[in-house]
Chain A
Amino acid sequence: MNDQLTRKRAVIETMPTVLGYVGIGITVGIVGRASGLTVLEVLLMSMITYGGSVQFVIISMIIRHSELLPIILATFLVNARMILISMSVAPYLEQESVLKNILLGTLLTDETYVLSMNKINYTKKRLNFEWLNISNLIAYFTWAIASFTGALIGDYVGTPKKFGLDFALVAMFIGLLYLQIISEREIKMMLQLLVVLFTLLAIYIGLIFIPANILILLATILGCSFGVIMKNVFF
């Protein structure tokens, strides 16, 4: 990564994350077909809902012929972390127009968000429309093409598990976490490690009584609160 916020840099810096989307996109396609959705429905869900993990939740509820309202509620809860993400990136996009903000928000994902938070460590905390938009577009079309491909091959390959592709996204989380920790300069390394450990504890204990999908949001809020308190008291 460097300090340039150009389209070209966006392509170069986003390409490594593409494999992560391909792996999980193909999986969502295969799972969608296996659950009785048509290829068109899988593609539309990836292009309109565009929610990553939330699509697995929705598919699992469609299988149970769930009503619309519970699905909407689950979507909101699983996806509510995007509210935090969007709030967090907002100050860096203030200078862009409302329309550009809407466009950027529409295609924002966990990964392009963390990638951009990684990027601002190299750009003196600057971010712009050109860079994030290209990053978002690459993610969006990779996701659409991958889930479409997954839906097409879904009838032939059976379980996607054996290829290790389901770990692609986890590997990306690990990579983005590590790159964020080493490039972040505002928060001391020790404090970051403490927050990571606290989050581990929150997830472990939370899993006892809170459904995993909702726990992500709760653990994030708890982890950030813990970070703020520790920063004020000890750092």
Chain B
Amino acid sequence: MYSFNYVFTIIISSGFVVWLSKVFPLVILKKYKLNEKAVSFLSFVPITIMSALWFESLFVQHLGQLPGLDIENLVASVPTILSAILTRSLLVIVVVGIISLALIRVIGI
């Protein structure tokens, strides 16, 4: 257990940092327009963020060495991608993903 004050101070400070990174750009950019280069740069954010978050989950980090493969997540990604292509439904994709990983753990790949 930790003192409530210690944890609460951390919650409030980190909350403020998170809040500022989300709100500050929105407020500032109401005043200033982004130039064309910046807009073009930012148009790639959705696909790169999703890719980065996905790919990071496929590897096991060993700092100083080549990363290992997270076989479970890698294998579970296959039916998940297939369900995305076949159904284009987020709900189906998430459910298929959860079931795939659960099955993989039961079978023990």
CB neighbours (8 Å) of A225 from chain B are 41
> Among the listed B8, B14, B26, B50, which residue makes an inter-chain contact with A51, where contact means beta carbons less than 8 Å apart?
B14
Q: In the complex, which of the residues A51, A164, A175, A202 contacts B99, with contact meaning CB atoms closer than 8 Å? A: A164
Among residues of B, the one whose C-beta sits closest to the C-beta of A55 is B14
Contact A68 B13 (CB under 8 A): yes
Say whether A162 faces chain B, with CB atoms less than 8 Å apart. yes
Contact in complex: A168, B30 (CB < 8 Å) = no
CB-CB under 8 A from A2, the residues of chain B are: none
Q: Tell whether A17 is near chain B: CB-to-CB under 8 Å.
A: yes
Chain A neighbourhood of B48, CB < 8 A: 195-196, 199, 219-220, 223-224, 227
A172 touches B14 (CB 8 A): no
A108 & B90 in contact (Cβ 8 Å cutoff): no
Contact partner of A71 among B10, B77, B84, B93, CB < 8 A?
Answer: B10
Q: How far is the CA of A182 from the CA of B2 in the complex (A)?
A: 48
Residues of chain B lying within 8 A (CB to CB) of residue A166: 101
Instruction: Point out the residue from A36, A41, A87, A223 that lies within 8 Å of B4, measured CB to CB.
Output: A41
What chain A residues lie within 8 Å of B49 (beta carbons)?
81, 84-85, 110, 114, 216, 220
Inter-chain contact A171/B80, CB cutoff 8 Å:
yes
B64 cross-chain contacts in A, Cβ below 8 A: 208-209
How near does chain B come to A212, taking the closest CB pair, in angstroms?
5
Main secondary structure of the interface of B (DSSP, over half): helix
Q: How far is the CB of A98 from chain B (nearest CB, A)?
A: 6
Size of the chain B interface, CB-CB below 8 angstroms: 78
Chain A residues with CB under 8 Å of B47's CB are 177, 180-181, 184, 192, 195-196, 223
- Shortest CB distance A80–B (Å): 6
A220 and B52 contacting across the interface, CB-CB below 8 Å: yes
Contacts A49-B18, A110-B49, A172-B93; A88 near B23 (Cβ below 8 A): no
Q: Which of B67-93 contact A (CB under 8 A)?
A: 67, 73, 76-77, 80-81, 84-85, 88-91, 93
A23 to B95, CA, bound (A): 10
**From A210, which residue of chain B is reached at the shortest CB distance?**
B63
Interface size class of A (residues with CB under 8 A): 35 or more
Are B18's CB and A101's CB within 8 A? Answer: no
Residues A82 and B98 in contact, CB atoms below 8 Å apart: no
Which A residues are in CB contact (< 8 Å) with B100?
Answer: 164, 167
Chosen A-B contacts, 20 in total, with CB atoms closer than 8 Å, are A44-B11, A45-B7, A65-B2, A83-B24, A87-B25, A101-B30, A105-B22, A167-B97, A172-B94, A174-B77, A175-B80, A179-B90, A187-B43, A202-B52, A208-B63, A215-B52, A216-B53, A220-B49, A227-B41, A227-B44
Taking Cβ atoms with an 8 Å cutoff, the residues of B that contact A are 1-2, 4, 6-15, 17-19, 21-27, 29-30, 34, 37-57, 59, 61, 63-67, 73, 76-77, 80-81, 84-85, 88-91, 93-105
